Chain A
Amino acid sequence: MDMAIALILSQDGITNGAIYALLALALVLVFAVTRVIFIQQGEFVAYGALTLAMMQSGVLPATVWMLVVMGALVTVLDGGLALKAGQGRRAASVAGWNLGYPLALAAAVGGLAVNELPLAVQVLLTLAIVVPMGPMMYRLMYQPIASAPVLVLLIVSVALHIAMVGLGLLFFGAEGQRTPAFSEFSLELGPLMVSAQTLWVLMVSVLLIVALYQFFERTLYGKALRATAINRVGAQLMGISPTLAGKLTFFLAAFIGALSGVLIAPITTIYYDTGFLIGLKGFVAAIIGGLASYPLAAMGAIAVGLLESFASFWASAYKEVIVFTLIIPVLLWRSLCSHHVEEEE
């Protein structure tokens, strides 16, 4: 291996690492606020990438219909409750957001010639379709059992993961997709060619991390989420609705997932089930941060990305094995540091 190869591998590693870092941040956030281990994060990545790809090939993305169905279910549940309580205006607003919005979106995407729209609009439409599924999923699947033990929530996540993979196969087919790069130019840095997409990934990741930081430090909602993460009951007593916190968290996680998918779709071929492995690598990073520390998780993500790209050079067949074995020393270290017995929730 010479310097040039090492540089190329590092570039790949850091690009992927940036994506893993975003996913790891979302995983830590979801776990801290809702105690849900968000296994299906990877599916949001795949849904984001493949929805965009479907739009570009001029097909109406089937994820729109999934959004309509989920929205209809939420409308029945929440709208029904509101009507029972005699809150007609609330029921109308529930129906508007959960039924009106998906239908309007379906009409827009179906009516426009989406493959001829500029890329930025396609990306926006993709996010508009995939991201609302996050809070809807929280409403339908987690809210009824929000106080269940971590283990039960984890099993629900796993169940939703495999259901989403199955649906992914149904929606997108078994073929892999790759979308065109956001822009064509590339940057020459000494011996290294940095592609525009790499710059996009890094730039968006950094921007998103800064934005999230600002959100959590400066805004009331961000602080409400932090408060919920630290003490759920205490936050509830201060008037922070755990339901709102859950939906907001899932919104952020779905946004991060779908955006990551859109960003990497030009770099790697995405299949309906690719998301799982990508999400799990985010997990390895999150575990490095103990599912609690954001900076450690982000650094872990870069390490995972670098390890993966160098491993694929030296022993490509064993790439996955090597990446997942990385958690062993981390777990060992954590295990040696922990002394006290704790009660599981």
Chain B
Amino acid sequence: MRADRLVLGAFLALLLLVPAILSPYYVTLLNYIGLYAMVALGLVLLTGVGGLTSFGQAAFVGLGAYTTAALTTATDLPGWLAWAGTSPWLTLVVGLLLTAVVAMLIGSLTLKLSGHFLPLGTIAWGISLYFLFGTMESLGGHTGISGIPAIGLLGWTLDEGGEIYYLIWAFLLVAMLTTHNLLDSREGRAIRALKGGRIMAEAMGVDTSRSRMVIFVIAALLACASGWLYAHMQRFVNPTPFGVHIGIEYLFMAVVGGAGYVWGAIVGAGVITVLKQWLQNWLPSLLGATGNFETIVFGLLMVLVLHRAREGLWPILKKLVPVRAVRKTIDADAEPLPRRTLPKAGELILEAKDVTRKFGGLVANNNMSLEVRAGEILALIGPNGAGKSTMFNQISGVDTPTSGEVLFLGKPVAGHDSREIARMGMSRTFQHVKLLPTMSVLENVAIGAHLRSDKGVLSSAWRLDRAEEARILKEAARQIERVGLAEHMYEEAGSLALGQQRILEIARALCADPCLLLLDEPAAGLRFKEKEALGELLKKLRAEGMATLIVEHDMDFVMSLVDRVVVMEFGQKIAEGLPDEVQQNPAVLEAYLGGVE
């Protein structure tokens, strides 16, 4: 038996026994912790993993609670909606749909913008909905709605704390399992790339705006389900628990517990809920006044956590439980991922025609032309400031030329975003390494295969993606072995030396099965032996028909490897030809060594 399963089993058994052992007071407390943890779980996904945040989660809880409250207590529903009021389970569906629509609306307004627009947008949304609940007569105004029926389940009526307890914790555990599964999948890797790796992820074909939307909607749905449970537990709703300040409290739970960890949600909800109970009893008598003084402690506690333990409590607790992380296994029998048919050797892959790029008065690229054919390695070299990186950006579609055009497989690159270009078969590495330092080498490389697979969020969440996942991991492992990083496969990518990180980027690019590889200074920081190995790899790829464009400073490396060289200076091409010819070219010698007087 694995140690982690043993610990989990003990926890579940304990949960099962709680209503039999503890007094109703503690059962109620645990009910609240479960409800809050569900909302906090959404924020773990959104804030800790995705690097976004929302202060409007309480409003989504309110949306779930008020939807079911209004529908199940209404006596005069219009005919087309009458079906919905008959059972709480139907109102759950209605609430979830409504929440999804609202979340998508808010998301489509804010998610394309910088990350801080979402929290600001959700504050506004939270306040607006709170005032709406409070003023709409049909929703009972500030007095709220009472007489909400209890939930019926298979003939049982869950009208006592000890009964709905099981439903709440079942919901929470299912939500945790789903989130855990989702994060450990193709979509999960895309989501985990959102925090600090968006440009890289886009270059690997991940639609990061969509991934942001996905986690925002999931977080909203979790909050809505929590609200539904809340309404049927309390049998009464009013606007108070759904204001912006409660939304802030949810965020505190996630951060205090450990925003990057699924279990952090329970820890955070537990700590804050118990602390709040205790402070509410204790502070007013200490301060000699009545009011919600616990916010003072919470606020300062929060700052302390962010100063001293930004990862929250869970990583600290985790050290106390002797459970080791389980390594991913590579299934050697998994079917290989489909490959694209590579163009025939000698076929024209990339063609830049008279590319000019001006930044105001500065001409960074002037009438640059070059071409790369299948089965060939072309080097783009030149002194610092020659305009190589600008040219690289024009080719990879990051920037658009002022005039001239770049054709990839006969189609213009300009006007397409990085994702489409990746889909067409161009794959790149970055001059300043872009990888996800806390993810393993294997998972970093697996991001490269994003476009070669298509299982979505739902299949990931419910583990219907395992066959495809095995194929992705096998492909990633194959590319890692190919570039010679096999012994580091399970290490954190951030722990590798810079040279190895560059090699990792090549493995990731290869994992996308490209027909054109763009390498930005791949040999920088490599030792002699590593350079030799990299040279061998690139030669092998060339033999397979890969077209490679390489921007490099290391002349020995370039001259012994490539087929042709293009030399740039002051934004222009000053020479082009075989390595030996170029080395003799007077213009090149002058550019690199200075003129001969």
Contacts and interface: CB of A to CB of B under 8 A. Distances in A.
B120 A156 contact: no
Interface stretch (A76-84, A164-172, A223-231): A164-172
B285 to A, nearest CB: 14
Q: Which of A159, A161, A283, A344 has the most CB of B within 10 A?
A: A159
A145 interface: yes
B199 A343 contact: yes
Contact of A155 (B195, B255, B289): B255
Interface stretch (A47-55, A247-255, A323-331): A323-331
A335 B198 contact: no
B198 A145 contact: no
B299 A161 contact: yes
Interface string A145-183: 100111110111011111111110110011000000000
B111 to A, nearest CB: 8
Contact of A320 (B131, B292, B306, B418): B131
B200 to A, nearest CB: 9
B315 interface: no
B199 A154 contact: no
A148 B196 CA distance: 13
Interface stretch (B121-129, B404-412, B564-572): B121-129
B195 A344 contact: yes
Nearest to B304: A159
B298 A162 contact: yes
The contact size tier of chain B is: 35 or more
Given A169-B291, A327-B124, A287 B303 contact: no
Interface string A316-339: 011011001101100110110010
Nearest to A325: B128
Interface residues of A, number: 49
B51 A149 contact: yes
Contacts of A144: 307
A158 B55 contact: yes
Contacts of B245: 162
A156 B302 contact: yes
B169 interface: no
Contacts of B109: 328, 331-332, 335
B120 A152 contact: no
Contacts of B252: 159
Given A163-B299, A287-B120, A335-B112, A343 B135 contact: no
A158 B251 contact: yes
A318 B134 CA distance: 10
A321 B132 contact: yes
A343 B432 CA distance: 14
Interface string B277-320: 00000000001010111111011101100110010000000000
B114 A331 contact: no
Given A163-B296, A327-B121, A155 B113 contact: no
Contacts of B52: 151
A317 B124 CA distance: 16
Nearest to A276: B244
Given A151-B53, A152-B306, A341 B292 contact: no
B183 to A, nearest CB: 19
B248 A158 contact: yes
Contact of A341 (B108, B128, B199, B303): B199
B119 interface: yes
B468 interface: no
A284 interface: yes
B120 A283 contact: yes
A74 B239 CA distance: 40
B120 A166 contact: no
Nearest to A322: B128
A278 interface: no
Interface in B28-75: 47, 51-53, 55
B117 interface: yes
B295 A155 contact: no
Contact of B248 (A162, A170, A283, A331): A162
Given A159-B302, A332-B109, A335-B108, A37 B120 contact: yes
Nearest to B141: A317
Contacts of B209: 341
Interface string B382-424: 0000000000000000000000000000000000001000000
B110 interface: yes
B293 A331 contact: no
Contacts of B248: 158, 161-162
A2 interface: no
Contacts of A291: 116
Interface in A170-204: 170, 173-174
A274 B178 CA distance: 41
B278 to A, nearest CB: 16
A151 B198 contact: no
A155 B251 contact: yes
Contact of A342 (B110, B114, B128): B114
B299 A37 contact: no
Nearest to B296: A166
B299 A331 contact: no
Contact of A37 (B116, B202, B293, B303): B116
Interface string B190-221: 00000110110010000011000000000000
A343 B198 contact: yes
B336 interface: no
B525 interface: no
A341 B302 contact: no
A280 interface: yes
B115 interface: yes
A158 B250 CA distance: 12
A165 B294 CA distance: 11
Contacts of A342: 114, 198
Nearest to A161: B299
Given A155-B53, A325-B128, A331-B109, A150 B115 contact: yes
Residue of B109, B245, B287, B289 most packed against chain A (CB within 10 A):
B109
A144 B305 CA distance: 12
Contacts of A212: none
B121 A159 contact: no
Contacts of B125: 324
A307 to B, nearest CB: 14
Contacts of B53: 151, 154-155
Interface of A: 37, 141, 144-145, 148-152, 154-156, 158-167, 169-170, 173-174, 277, 280, 283-284, 287, 291, 317-318, 320-321, 324-325, 327-328, 331-332, 334-335, 338, 341-344
10 contacts: A158-B251, A159-B298, A159-B306, A163-B295, A166-B292, A166-B294, A324-B125, A332-B109, A341-B202, A341-B208
